[in-house]
Amino acid sequence: MSASYDLVIRGGTVVTASDTVRADVAVSGESVVAVGKDLPAGAREIDATGRLVMPGGVDPHCHIEQMTAAGLVNADTFETATVSAAFGGTTTVIPFAAQHVGLNLRQVVADYKALAARGAVVDYALHMIIADATPETVASDIPAMVEAEGIGSIKMFMTYDRLKVDDERFLDVLLAARQSGALVCVHAENHGMISWMSRKLVEKGFVAPKYHAMSHPRLAETEAFTRLIAMSELIDQPIMIFHVSTAEGAAVIREARGRGVKVFAETCPHYLILTAEDVDLPGLEGAKRMFSPPARSASDHGALWRALGLGDLQVVSSDHAPFRFDETGKLRAGPSATFKQIGNGMPGLESRLPLMFDAMVSQGGMGLQKFVELTATNPARIYNLARKGSIAVGGDADIAIWDPDCSVTFSDATVRDAAGYTPYPGRTVRGWPQTVLVRGTTVIADGVLAVKPGFGRYLPRAGGEAARPTGHLVREVDPHRNFGATLL
Ligand code: URP
Ligand code: ZN
Ligand code: ZN
């Protein structure tokens, strides 16, 4: 008898953002072709009895092989980063093509695409970082990169000396994004407050990694979110606010969404797990948990969970930004480095889903569907990756088969990215993906990588629905109410 499908994943519990059902999943070619009970035989079968069959994760914010704000390249290559992502159940990533000041955006995009094509083992799209909003970048390069290269999102920084874009240029880029149909993602913190606090702390000898957390006042987040939302409203350009860390930040977003501003927002596992006290470690050890914005407090954790539950925040990304804890990375400035001389960021591609599964499903009450929604479906929808983020007939067969009872204790000895350490040593999570498929091909089978570097495929995309303006213009830019001046 000939097989009806290339593959049937049989007898598992299939979870999507809307349903949890006992069903088989059939795959032919690269797509899911049927979901149902007692499906006919596949040429290959995977027994998923007792397992959860879930969409592969979509991680829409990760720094891979990127030149960062500190002038340091991340520890990972596209190969090591995406292998670690796959082992943690993530099948699509959106890293960055990072334009620094003086660089030509088209060349930057070509360079990062080449790096990714060589190494990636899962599928990937790109965001473009704009640090140098020259007239040529704004008028010609951004539209070309959206249209010809399928980069449907732009990232800008409101802080970091090398990357920050001032408000006037920021508005130029928001308008270019509006005209090109791209979403704008933002690292929003008040640069002056952070620079001033850092200078004062260092001058007075408060230089340990824990003072990095104090150098980023929570007010810097609230102020920047408020200013950013005002700029977004002026241009009527939808935005995604990256890595929300405070209760007040979440409240600013809730208020803006409540009055109809098109603001999306994400947080990351570390803002739900770590506090500033966790950075207070002997010597420079705290550098392993230095990232920006920094870890806050337990009451922020509660507020961020509520904001995720309510839909004020829609996405949990990793903000994977790995540096080794040695002279090539975090400790580049030597053993007496101040927090200002230590690279920001930490690894997270592999741990994102297991940490969230443990918190939301194994320990918590938010449940499987919300877990899938925040970590796969919402990022796929918001970033316009139509075939990703769910298990649906016609979609890509990107599937992670989880053992919900598999307990794993994080340890430096077992991390798979190139940072070489885990920020969560000794922490045990319950639930881990055992088998991971990308477009129907097994990428991870029972702890073994089964594809070669370069298997991952580039996902060109437009900005999509999330990037579509609301059509509501404030008076000063509305030609019907501003005495006829056409500005947008
Ligand atoms: O500390 C972080 N998040 N480093 C990565 C760069 C950024 O801020 O997104
Ligand atoms: Zn950032
Ligand atoms: Zn980041």
Is-above-0.85 flag for pTM? Answer: yes
Q: What is the pLDDT of residues 246-283, one digit of tens each?
A: 999 999 999 999 999 999 999 999 999 999 999 999 99
User: Is the peptide bond preceding residue 293 cis, with omega within 30 degrees of 0?
Assistant: yes
Distance 158 CA to ligand 2 centre (A): 9
> Mean pLDDT, the chain, as a whole number?
97
Ion ligand 3, residues whose Cβ is below 5 A away = 319
Read off the DSSP letter of residue 296: B
For the chain, helix (H) and strand (E) counts, in that order, are 14, 19
Q: What is the pLDDT of residues 230-254, one digit of tens each?
A: 999 999 999 999 999 999 999 999 9
Interaxial angle between packed helices 191-203 and 218-235, expressed in degrees from 0 to 180 and rounded to the nearest 10: 160
Q: Supply the Cα-derived Rg of the chain in whole angstroms.
A: 22
Measured from the alpha carbon of residue 271, the closest ligand is: 1
Read off the DSSP letter of residue 319: -
Distance 33 CA to ligand 2 centre (A): 38
**What atom in ligand 1 is closest to the CA of residue 345?**
1
Region 435-450 average pLDDT: 96
CA proximity to 264, closest of 291, 320, 225: 225
Q: What is the pLDDT of residues 357-381, one digit of tens each?
A: 999 999 988 999 999 999 999 999 9
CB 43 within 8 A of CB 6: yes
Q: What is the pLDDT of residues 117-163, one digit of tens each?
A: 999 999 999 999 999 999 999 999 999 999 999 999 999 999 999 99
Read off the DSSP letter of residue 408: E
Residue 291 pLDDT level (bands cut at 50, 70, 90): very high
Q: What is the pLDDT of residues 45-104, one digit of tens each?
A: 999 999 999 999 999 999 999 998 888 999 999 999 999 999 999 999 999 999 999 999
- So what's the pLDDT on residue 1? 61
Residue closest via CA to ligand 1's atom 2 equals 345
Distance 164 CA to ligand 1 centre (A): 13
For the chain, give the percent of residues with pLDDT over 70: 100
Distance 3 CA to ligand 3 centre (A): 45
Region 465-470 average pLDDT: 98
Return the bridge partners of 250, or none. Answer: none
Region 334-352 average pLDDT: 96
Distance, in Å, from the CA atom of 44 to the CA atom of 27, rounded to the nearest integer, reads 10
| Residue list, ligand 1 pocket, CB within 6 Å | 63, 68, 187, 291-292, 319, 321, 344-345
